[in-house]
Amino acid sequence: MIQIGQEEYKTIIKHAKEGLPNEACGLLGGIVVSGVTYVKKIYCLTNTDASREHFSMDPKEQFAAIKDIRSNNLQLIGNFHSHPETPARPSDEDKRLAYDSTLLYGIVSLMAEDSPVFKVFHINEAKEVSEEEVVII
Ligand SMILES: [Zn+2]
């Protein structure tokens, strides 16, 4: 199970909307306590691809985020990106690029811009996708 605060959730949705018409992306800092992952800090990064169908995180921003995560005694628990025009599930490319089965892969769908859908997945080495339960607190 993944717990995320209202504020953090809003930050993800806001970043996704501000990135339109392109995909937006970012990193998630948090902690894991007795099997529950707590998302504590959202890092909104620049999509250097500036594309509606792809994203690449700005390497400098990525480095700064990792540094901040460490200095706050958090862990890099995953990343997120938006799908401006498609549902909140990993695309074939998302699965191909999922290099770490321990990370969470969050996807925001803005297919219906007024009712964004945020889902979080694990993707294993066999590229099998499992959705994780997200609780907004
Ligand atoms: Zn995607």
10-32 pLDDT, tens per residue? 999 999 999 999 999 999 999 99
Query: Can you tell me whether residue 109 is helix, strand or coil?
Result: strand
H helical segments located in the chain: 6-18, 59-71, 92-97
Q: What is the pLDDT of residue 113?
A: 77
Query: How many Å lie between the centroid of ligand 1 and the Cα of residue 108?
Result: 9
Architecture of the domain delimited by 2-136: 3-Layer(aba) Sandwich (3.40)
Which residues of the chain, if any, have pLDDT below 50? none
Which residue ranges make up each domain of the chain? Answer: 2-136
Query: How many Å lie between the centroid of ligand 1 and the Cα of residue 67?
Result: 25
